[in-house]
Amino acid sequence: MSDKKVLVANAQGFWGDSMLGPLRLVEEGPIDYLTFDYLAEVTMSIMQKQKARDPNLGYATDFVKLVGRIARKCKEKNIKIIANAGGVNLKACLAATKKVIADQKIAGVRIGIVEGDDILGRLPDLIASGEKFSNLDSGEGIEKVRDRLTSANVYIGAKSIADALAQGADIVVVGRCTDPTLAVAPLVHEFGWSMDDYDKLAAATVMGHILECGPQCTGGNFTNWREVPDLARIGYPIGEASADGSFVVTKHQGTGGLVSVETVTSQLLYELGDPKNYLGPDCIADFTTIQIAQEGPDRVKIQGIKGRPPTPTYKVSMAYENGYKILGTLCISGPDAVDKAHWIADAVFKRMEMHGAPIPPEMRFLELFGTNVLYKGIAPELKQPHEIMMRIGAKGPDRKKLDILGTEIAPFVTGGPPGVTGLAAGRARASEIVGYWPALIDKRKVKTSVTVEEV
């Protein structure tokens, strides 16, 4: 067995993560692959909204900025980049990435893309061919939202990304793929694993699951947070993979944070469903077979993972228009902050009636932050804390009507009870609600294509 190690790092765990992560990873120690994971369900919705406003948007713009800052160093050190930065607009992301590399005058960078995840245009044919696209959570039929769909993307697997790497890509950008796939693909490419070697694919999937949220496995969001040193310089995670499927979770020496069995297990539990059946596009991983042990300081070894063949379907993430929402905030000081908030809220909704735009009770929203709303029913409700943030809003089909509500919040600073402040964010505006519709598609009906070109 070869003793070759492949070092895969996660540089950003979501769209909005620190820009310092990737800048530090390329400087502070060895890595082979830098992965960027941007696509939470919420993020896809935001990108969808942005694309609707501007056809040149709808992807992770932070990625392009970062490529401009690290591409030269990555080329020097032969660090490959893999990112699901394409979001709902892969073409625009590719164009922007090419431009930023050209602007830097870095020669000989090969960029690969994987297309085929976007099936929105094919939906009529796919439905006609028998695909149901029923909602995975609710079981409802696609007819309910069919004429309101704005995007439909398949979570693609590792093979086509590995193919792009095999074709010499230095940077691979994809639209929708599962988060762990970003780690599976480079290992398939480097170790030449067969796509039916399910134990190995499952091991790589688990590695990807651990890495996918960046520092959330190196001491971030950790219960015993006081044990985590040097939060400012927290190390981003690195999976040090071996050909036999075992791997070590670690971080660069001298960085902050903590890699322990507890910090890594915490992340194994993140967004987990049935641990025996962790479904991915390329395999089913069994989390109950994971063997985990501390191998040294900030080094956690994982091995023994078993996998099974994947299901015959890919998951599809669809977005649909589902009306509008608005949310405004006011900060209210005591005494009697809670009573004042209820007075104001009642008055806001009365004024909506006076505007001829009444909000039905079931569409109203009021949350008094500071009364223990996060631990509702668990920590005792605080009856009259000395200051609260009132979060008031509504949902509905009519954007203009909701925007009126945005105009009737600020007036209570001068026209309400005393001690109301905190209007710095300005007048609230209604925004689209992007509904999320998870579904399945027969794998045989998804065709991906790989293109690699030199900039």
Cα–Cα distance measured from residue 195 to residue 219, given in angstroms and rounded to the nearest whole number = 33
Residue nearer to other proteins on the CB measure, 119 or 302: 302
Q: Find the binding residues for other proteins in span 347-376 (CB under 8 A).
A: 365, 367, 369, 373-376
Q: Least distance from C-beta 364 to other proteins, angstroms?
A: 10
Q: Least distance from C-beta 378 to other proteins, angstroms?
A: 5
Q: Find the binding residues for other proteins in span 160-219 (CB under 8 A).
A: none
Residue 409: C-alpha distances to residues 191, 228, 365, 448 (Å): 60, 42, 13, 50
Decide: 190 and 4 in contact? Cβ < 8 Å: yes
Residue 252 within binding range of other proteins, rule CB under 8 A: no
Helix axis angle for 261-268 and 198-211, nearest 10°, is: 100
Q: Which stretch binds other proteins (CB under 8 A): 84-92, 124-132, 165-173, 435-443?
A: 435-443
Q: Find the binding residues for other proteins in span 128-157 (CB under 8 A).
A: 137
Helix axis angle for 90-103 and 61-77, nearest 10°, is: 50
Q: Least distance from C-beta 33 to other proteins, angstroms?
A: 24
Residue 10 within binding range of other proteins, rule CB under 8 A: no
SS3 351: helix
Sign of CA dihedral 121, 122, 124, 127: negative
| Those residues with Cβ within 8 angstroms of residue 22's Cβ, 6 or more apart along the chain or in another chain | 11, 12, 34, 36, 66, 69, 70, 236
Sign of CA dihedral 94, 99, 100, 104: positive
Strands 313-333 and 431-442, by their bridges, are: antiparallel
Residue nearer to other proteins on the CB measure, 265 or 294: 265
431 φ/ψ angles, rounded to the nearest 5 degrees: -135, 160
- Among residues 178, 255, 267, 371, which is the contact residue for other proteins, using CB under 8 A? 267
Residue 294 within binding range of other proteins, rule CB under 8 A: no
Residue 89 within binding range of other proteins, rule CB under 8 A: no
Residue nearer to other proteins on the CB measure, 122 or 325: 325
| Those residues with Cβ within 8 angstroms of residue 173's Cβ, 6 or more apart along the chain or in another chain | 63, 83, 84, 85, 86, 90, 93, 94, 97, 111, 112, 113
Residue 268 within binding range of other proteins, rule CB under 8 A: yes
E-state strands within 127-264: 149-154, 171-174, 238-242, 247-250
Residue 433 within binding range of other proteins, rule CB under 8 A: yes
- Among residues 4, 120, 143, 224, which is the contact residue for other proteins, using CB under 8 A? 224
Q: Which stretch binds other proteins (CB under 8 A): 23-31, 160-168, 317-325, 405-413?
A: 317-325
Residue nearer to other proteins on the CB measure, 343 or 365: 365
Helix axis angle for 20-28 and 61-77, nearest 10°, is: 10
Q: Which stretch binds other proteins (CB under 8 A): 30-38, 64-72, 221-229, 239-247?
A: 221-229
Q: Find the binding residues for other proteins in span 386-415 (CB under 8 A).
A: 391, 393, 395
In the 8-state DSSP scheme, what is residue 381? P
Mask 49-68, x = binds other proteins (CB under 8 A)?
A: --------------------
Number of residues that bind other proteins (CB under 8 A): 50
Residue 274 within binding range of other proteins, rule CB under 8 A: yes
Looking at residue 148, its amino acid is R
Residues forming contacts to other proteins in the complex (CB under 8 A) are 40-42, 45, 137, 221-224, 262, 265-276, 287-292, 319, 322, 325, 327, 365, 367, 369, 373-379, 391, 393, 395, 433-436, 438
